[in-house]
Amino acid sequence: MSRRTMPKKHKKPVADHSAERKTRKCLMCGKPFPSEWAGERVCRKCKSSAAWRSA
């Protein structure tokens, strides 16, 4: 069966989460910051610090 003839019930599932920005608490300073994606947990200010760069 070709892809074009597959029934509509075999569609790619839709993600439960949205790809929108979310406000999260920074794991280093604890202050809220706008996170671009789910894995971003440290704010820009802390990422630019010497402590972050030396880790």
> Is residue 50 in a domain?
yes
Position 6 scores a pLDDT of: 59
Q: How confident is the prediction along the chain (55 residues), in pLDDT tens digits per residue?
A: 555 665 667 788 777 766 678 999 999 999 999 999 889 999 999 999 988 888 7
| C-alpha to C-alpha distance for 40 and 19, rounded to whole angstroms | 13
Position 44 scores a pLDDT of: 94
Position 4 scores a pLDDT of: 61
Count of structural domains, the chain: 1
Q: Is 46 exposed, middle or buried (CB count within 10 Å of its CB: 0-12, 13-18, 19+)?
A: middle
> Is residue 8 in a domain?
no
> Is residue 26 in a domain?
yes
> Is residue 6 in a domain?
no
Q: What is the pTM of this model?
A: 0.61
> Is residue 27 in a domain?
yes
The domain of 32 spans 21-55
> Is residue 35 in a domain?
yes
Region of residue 18 (phi > 0: left; psi between -120 and 50: alpha; otherwise: beta) = beta
> Is residue 7 in a domain?
no
> Is residue 53 in a domain?
yes
